[in-house]
Amino acid sequence: MKVEIISIGDELLIGQVVNTNAAWMGEQLTDAGIEVIRITAVSDRAEDIKDAMHLASQHADAVLITGGLGPTNDDITKTVLCEYFDTVLENHVPTYLHIEAMFAKRGYKFTERNRQQSMLPKGCTILPNSVGTAPGMLFERGDTIFISMPGVPMEMKAIMSEEAIPFLKRKNNGSAIFRHTVITHGVGESWLAERIAGWEESLPENVKLAYLPRPGMVRLRITATGNDVQMLKDQVMGFTAELHKIIPELIIGYNEDTMESVVMQLLLEQNKTLSVAESCTGGYIAQLMTAMAGVSAVFKGGVVAYENSVKQNLLGVSAKALEAHGAVSREVVIEMARGIMESTGSDMAVATSGIAGPSGGTKEKPVGTVWIAIANGDAVRAEKFFFGGNRERVIKQSALKALNMVREELIISK
Amino acid sequence: MKVEIISIGDELLIGQVVNTNAAWMGEQLTDAGIEVIRITAVSDRAEDIKDAMHLASQHADAVLITGGLGPTNDDITKTVLCEYFDTVLENHVPTYLHIEAMFAKRGYKFTERNRQQSMLPKGCTILPNSVGTAPGMLFERGDTIFISMPGVPMEMKAIMSEEAIPFLKRKNNGSAIFRHTVITHGVGESWLAERIAGWEESLPENVKLAYLPRPGMVRLRITATGNDVQMLKDQVMGFTAELHKIIPELIIGYNEDTMESVVMQLLLEQNKTLSVAESCTGGYIAQLMTAMAGVSAVFKGGVVAYENSVKQNLLGVSAKALEAHGAVSREVVIEMARGIMESTGSDMAVATSGIAGPSGGTKEKPVGTVWIAIANGDAVRAEKFFFGGNRERVIKQSALKALNMVREELIISK
């Protein structure tokens, strides 16, 4: 089954909102074995929406539409659907009662605008919205299915998971897809491609390889298409095992793994705790770790030592080291790591000190210079890096490298 | 001038990568007075790319294509361009020399794959890539302009800013657009719509209003179209001033302002410093602040006190308060704020302690319960919130509310 996604909203075209909805939908549909052939973002104008629907129906078996169902005046999708499917709005009683009940429960004022949300196109199948007021609407015209959903991410996700995907899965028959992503860290795309060229050339017709570079990472996505998911899985996992023999030191994880999730997993396995002392990364490492549920078993916390006085007062960095070597130095970053390990009583600690820019660089220490130290019991080591790019990139690459040093330390000390 | 953006890559369709490129392009083009009418994401298949180009050329004056120009085998855009424009690849000497020089400068190995990047379609206009190896390519067919660029964000941005946008601006003649976004915090979309209904109805035909809800925020985008940018600007700013009279307490900023940038600006104006003590937000507030260049003048740092022992050792929270009231309490969050203010010597401090979930909730303190304290000199106040949604949402809403409390404090104490 081939699906096209149409995302409605001027805010997408002018770049005020990034289309994360379509990405989430693409992921869920792919996981359900349904192929997404195109994602189109169009304006709030009626003609543009109808034009996109018409084009989509020429190639897709199902067209999923999001956006333009809110209570405010700029949302016009329902009117467009009535025109496109030649029908009219009528009050849908179960939806009316659902909206009324939601407002009563939350103690909100029930306005005329909210009341209008139960006016829905006659003849379509209503897909209930368990978390909001605007339901999904399903139309079938000829061989094509159209499903319209609100653009609010939480509501779209509820309708997709509970209604749209189960419906599409029932309609879908046969074709299977399996994908597996290998996450590498440490070398660039071209260099990686050279190293695995022989392996890549050995892949059969039904197996596709894609390189997905991200700052500090290259993800290798292997996709196999055929009829039997289990056979495809065996095939892909076989190729993955071969790949692992060629570049064992570069592979840090698979699929949804992130550097921080791999670190958390290793800490849990080894029953160790971590703390952080962050200067240039400014809390970014702590935030990556604490975004994960269950991290409290292995993460104690840390200090964001942005100003030098904070490095001295909260991390016990010596005035001598700061004066003699400056904040961005091997000596200071080692004292930071030791300091946070001592005050939190953690088993390991990682510390960063660098110049994220855009200002603050010198000839000896240009913007992008970052020292990272890792302490593990009595052992401590520090390394200097030069990261390119703007402030955001320097911060992100520093955090990634710091976590990778923790990962390596955990693997070596295992 | 009407532009369509075509983003190439299976990774976009399966949701492995979010299409941030298109959002950035949409923003830049809109700022240049160029209208984006559609954004289409297609697979790496030749037929799909050619099909999308053909469709785009029917409505758009210019088609901007990104992706598929890298050095690896899954990138096929150049071949497709040759087929579509009926031409062949030939070595482009300036590009060859540029690539060779880039590799020499970085000390990288120059591989056969890199060499192939200077093989470019004969007859197109080459748009130099100042930061990478794959240049942009410009074709004109009939009245339509096609520009193909690499998908690597940094490289696409360089070619867009230095080559594509200046070219399109020269081609564009006449029509003007002006947009202005008002950022509100504190009430939901429906409620806001009720309050400004009269104002909204007074807007003339050429002025459009859009509601863009985000967690904890509603952005109101006002867009005016016409022929004279200055006239449109005066018109929109007039309506904005009227809006400000209706909802002064809800407006926190405009356009690219964020809660953290507004806080930084107020701190700079009042020459005050801030520090943070974060439990449930886990470094998220510190990271938001330190992501901004120039923040070191007003932000001292903070403590991520994830474990209770860290609250005691690094923030001086009393065992008594922890035992009597628990970590998520008015007493503890106030001690956290006072503790970090004292140890960093900052003028103000904000502290968070709550239950982000998914586990850790109790009947008295369910998941989403968050205490936030703000200290300003000798004054200190704390407030309790209940945030809905998952862990990520609780963390983000807590950080937003904490920064809003800093903002309010700065406005009151001004």
Q: pLDDT digits over A105-147, tens only?
A: 777 777 777 778 899 999 999 999 988 888 999 999 988 999 9
- Minimum distance, in Å, between the CA of residue B142 and any CA atom of chain A: 23
Closest chain A CA to residue B36: A13
Averaged pLDDT for residues A231-242: 96
pLDDT of residue B102: 81
Which residues of chain A are within 8 Å of residue B43 when distances are taken between CB atoms? 37-38
Closest chain B CA to residue A297: B307
CB-side exposure of A303: number of CA atoms within 13 Å? 36
- The yes-or-no verdict on residue B15 having pLDDT over 90 is no
Interchain CB contacts (distance < 8 Å): A and B: 312
Provide the sign of the torsion angle of the four alpha carbons B368, A345, A305, B342, taken in this order: positive
CB contact under 8 A, A190 and B27: no
Write the residue in B211, B289, B293 that is nearest to A358 by C-beta: B293
pLDDT band of residue B207 (cuts 50, 70, 90) is: very high
Structure tokens at A228: 């039997």
Tens-digit pLDDT profile for residues A64-104: 999 987 666 667 889 999 999 999 999 999 999 988 888 88
Averaged pLDDT for residues A240-266: 95
Closest chain B CA to residue A113: B190
Tens-digit pLDDT profile for residues B225-271: 888 888 999 999 999 999 999 999 999 999 989 999 999 999 999 99
CB contact under 8 A, A14 and B26: yes
Reduced to 3 states (helix: H, G, I; strand: E, B; else coil), residue A355 is coil
CB contact under 8 A, B301 and A305: yes
pLDDT of residue A174: 63
A115 touches chain B (CB under 8 A): no
A27 touches chain B (CB under 8 A): yes
Which A residues 233-272 touch B at CB under 8 Å? none
**pLDDT, mean over chain B:** 92
| Between A324 and A388, the higher pLDDT residue | A324
pLDDT of residue A295: 95
- The yes-or-no verdict on residue B116 having pLDDT over 80 is yes
CB contact under 8 A, B109 and A191: yes
Return the DSSP state at A117.
Answer: G
Closest chain A CA to residue B188: A108
- Minimum distance, in Å, between the CA of residue A317 and any CA atom of chain B: 14
Which B residues 346-365 touch A at CB under 8 Å? 357-359
Q: Which of B129-133, B163-167, B195-199, B394-398 is predicted with the least confidence, judged by mean pLDDT?
A: B129-133
Lateral strand order in the sheet of B35-42: A125-127, A136-141, A144-149, A62-66, A2-8, A35-42, B35-42, B2-8, B62-66, B144-149, B136-141, B125-127
Contact yes or no for B82/B32 (Cβ under 8 A): no
Which B residues 38-67 touch A at CB under 8 Å? 38-44, 48, 52, 55
Burial classification of residue B204, based on how many CB atoms lie within 10 Å of its CB (0-12 exposed, 13-18 middle, 19 or more buried): exposed
CB contact under 8 A, A392 and B48: no
Q: Which of A294-298, B144-148, B390-394 is predicted with the least confidence, judged by mean pLDDT?
A: B390-394
A297 touches chain B (CB under 8 A): no
A15 touches chain B (CB under 8 A): yes
pLDDT of residue A257: 94
Q: How far apart are CA A296 and CA B306, in angstroms?
A: 7
Write the residue in A55, A194, A343 that is nearest to B111 by C-beta: A194
| Between B174 and A40, the higher pLDDT residue | A40
- The yes-or-no verdict on residue B73 having pLDDT over 70 is no
Closest chain B CA to residue A212: B11
pLDDT band of residue B74 (cuts 50, 70, 90) is: low
pLDDT of residue B174: 62
CB contact under 8 A, B72 and A194: no
B332 touches chain A (CB under 8 A): no
- The yes-or-no verdict on residue A273 having pLDDT over 70 is yes
Tens-digit pLDDT profile for residues A314-365: 999 999 999 999 999 999 999 999 999 999 999 999 999 999 989 889 999 9
Q: Which domains does chain B have, with CATH numbers?
A: 2-171 (3.40.980.10), 176-254 (3.30.70.2860), 259-412 (3.90.950.20)
CB contact under 8 A, A282 and B305: no
**pLDDT, mean over chain A:** 92
Write the residue in B27, B208, B300 that is nearest to A307 by C-beta: B300
pLDDT band of residue B277 (cuts 50, 70, 90) is: very high
Tens-digit pLDDT profile for residues B29-41: 988 888 899 999 9
Q: How far apart are CA A334 and CA A317, in angstroms?
A: 9
Averaged pLDDT for residues A269-296: 96
CB contact under 8 A, A310 and B304: no
Q: Which of A168-172, A291-295, B87-91 is predicted with the least confidence, judged by mean pLDDT?
A: A168-172
For an interface test with B, the pick among A290, A346, A359, A367 (most B C-beta atoms closer than 10 Å) comes out as A290
Tens-digit pLDDT profile for residues A142-163: 889 999 999 989 999 999 999 9
Contact yes or no for B291/A391 (Cβ under 8 A): yes
Averaged pLDDT for residues A396-409: 95
Q: Which of A119-123, A225-229, B190-194 is predicted with the least confidence, judged by mean pLDDT?
A: A225-229
B230 touches chain A (CB under 8 A): no
For an interface test with B, the pick among A13, A336, A344 (most B C-beta atoms closer than 10 Å) comes out as A13
- Minimum distance, in Å, between the CA of residue A323 and any CA atom of chain B: 19
Which residues of chain A are within 8 Å of residue B283 when distances are taken between CB atoms? 278, 283-287, 289-290, 302, 304
Write the residue in A10, A193, A310 that is nearest to B300 by C-beta: A310
What's the pTM value of the predicted model, to 2 decimals? 0.76
Whole-complex ipTM:
0.74
CB contact under 8 A, A304 and B302: yes
